[in-house]
């Protein structure tokens, strides 16, 4: 298995789990998400114990799942409640999954539900904070989830893959530094007195900056297990303090990347951007979301074709360069956790 199990992953967004159940394959397991009578999200195996039908194709009635094949009623604890014309006491229990709803996401614990510790869910300070605005989306990508981590921890690819939006030659010319802080891996790059690329020039104009001023730019990528990458990005007017410049002299955001394996070779990618400038401007949020969608669509094609090559040339060894340090260290953290889980208690 190529992923950790005793950890919280994003399984869905809150808006995806409404009146109807949601079926999704995550971490090798088929899961059915639904809301109980109190509105709390529950998750069970997407498997009816009667004939193996997908429970997510049914409906929710009084906070319980009703199978769309023969009407079996399933509770959030994995225990069959009833079935027309049948005694259900001896029906086998199906697996339930620990879930928590926070920050607009449904977090699912891949390991034993009884071991789930909600206090280890990452804190997202920007959620429901009036000083911030957030917009995001979801991609299903046919590539190993670790390829996305590699991509996000090495932003030198922006110069080439995203040349018309956020890429610029100075990214190549400015070395990055990588360090490990416990189980967190941090890769950072700071560029001084450069031109702003199109995306950031548009952001500056959104706060009233005119012309094409020189800027200081930063990228600080933080990986944390099992597969989360948060990237602090922004530009400030040159000479105004860079990363620490006052808010009226900079545009600052956190790119959010929650990556959840589906099976080996495919993933669910929950992406977004939380920004700390003009938070009440809904039109700006929509414009940035559309721009991000375009940028990440470029990554999607690159990663899927990369996965195809890796499958076709499985015997080839890949190079590890200085720009790959963030991804290499992140993979090392993942491997360490997987190895610990493999040791019997």
Q: Domain check: are 143 and 116 in the same one? A: no
Whether residues 188 and 299 share a domain: the answer is yes
Residue 169 has pLDDT above 80, yes or no: no
Above pLDDT 90, what percent of the chain? 80
246-267 burial by CB neighbour count: b if 16+ within 10 A, else e?
Answer: eeebbbbbbbbbbbbbbeebbb
Other beta carbons within 10 Å of 343: 6
Q: Same structural domain for residues 316 and 224?
A: yes
Residue with tokens 């997908």: 54
* Contact residues for 227 (Cβ-Cβ < 8 A; gap 6+): 3, 9, 145, 146, 149, 258, 259, 260, 261, 334
Question: Is position 309 within any domain?
Answer: yes
Phi, psi of 288 (to 5 degrees): -65, -40
Note whether residue 176 is domain-resident. Answer: yes
Mark whether 242 and 331 lie in a shared domain.
Answer: yes
CATH number, position 258: 3.90.380.10
pLDDT digits (tens, 9 = 90+) for 231-278: 999 999 999 999 999 988 999 999 999 999 999 999 999 999 999 999
Which of 73, 97, 120 terminates a domain? The answer is 120
Residues 114 and 187 in one domain: no
Whether residues 94 and 187 share a domain: the answer is no
How far is residue 243's CA from residue 250's CA, in Å, rounded to a whole number? 8
State the pLDDT at residue 110.
87
Asked, for residue 2, whether it belongs to a domain, the answer is: no
Last residue of a domain, one of 88, 120, 152: 120
Q: How confident is residue 1, by pLDDT bands cut at 50, 70 and 90?
A: confident
- The enclosing domain of 116 has a CATH number of 2.102.10.10
Examine the domain organization and report whether 171 and 113 are in the same domain.
Answer: no
Does residue 244 sit in the same domain as residue 142?
Answer: yes
Report the SS3 class of residue 243: helix
Q: Is residue 125 part of a domain?
A: no
Same domain, 64 and 196: no
- Say what the pTM is: 0.93
Cα(26)–Cα(111) distance, integer angstroms: 12
Residue 319 domain boundaries: 133-342
Residue that is last in its domain, among 120, 144, 178: 120
Local structure of 259: helix, strand or coil: strand
For residues 206 and 197, is the Cβ–Cβ distance under 8 A?
no
**What DSSP letter does each residue of 164-182 carry, written as one string?**
TTT--HHHHHS--EEEEET
Give the chain's domain count.
Answer: 2
Report pLDDT digits (tens) over 305-345.
999 999 999 999 987 877 789 999 999 999 999 999 988 76
């Amino acid at each position: 298995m190529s992923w950790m199990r005793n950890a919280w992953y994003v399984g869905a967004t809150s808006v995806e789990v409404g009146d109807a159940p949601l079926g999704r394959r995550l971490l090798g397991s088929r899961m059915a998400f639904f809301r109980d009578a109190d509105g709390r999200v529950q998750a069970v195996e997407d498997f009816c114990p009667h004939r193996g039908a997908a429970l997510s194709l049914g409906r929710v009635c009084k906070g319980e799942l009703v199978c769309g094949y023969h009407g079996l009623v399933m509770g959030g604890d994995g225990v069959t409640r009833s079935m027309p014309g049948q005694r259900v006491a001896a029906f086998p229990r199906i697996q339930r999954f620990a879930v928590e709803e926070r920050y607009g996401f449904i977090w699912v614990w891949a390991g034993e539900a009884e071991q789930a510790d909600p206090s280890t869910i990452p804190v997202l300070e920007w959620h429901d904070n009036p000083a911030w605005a957030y917009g995001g989306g979801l991609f299903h990508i046919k590539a190993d989830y670790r390829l996305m981590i590699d991509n996000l921890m090495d932003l030198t690819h922006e110069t080439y893959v995203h040349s018309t939006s956020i890429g610029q030659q100075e990214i190549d010319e400015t070395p990055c530094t990588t360090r490990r802080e416990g189980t967190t891996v941090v890769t950072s790059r700071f560029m001084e007195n450069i031109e702003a690329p199109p995306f950031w020039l548009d952001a500056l104009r959104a706060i009233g900056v005119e012309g094409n001023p020189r800027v200081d730019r930063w990228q600080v990528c933080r990986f944390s297990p099992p597969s989360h990458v948060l990237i602090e990005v922004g530009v400030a007017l040159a000479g105004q303090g860079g990363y620490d410049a006052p808010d009226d002299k900079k545009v600052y955001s956190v790119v959010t990347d929650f990556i959840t394996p589906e099976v080996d070779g495919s993933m669910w990618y929950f992406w977004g951007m939380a920004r700390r400038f003009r938070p009440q401007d809904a039109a700006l949020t929509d414009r940035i979301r559309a721009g991000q969608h375009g940028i990440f669509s470029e990554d999607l094609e690159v990663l899927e074709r990369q996965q195809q090559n890796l499958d076709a040339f499985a015997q080839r060894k890949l190079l590890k360069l200085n720009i790959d340090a963030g991804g290499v260290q992140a993979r090392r953290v993942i491997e360490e956790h997987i190895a610990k889980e493999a040791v019997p208690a």
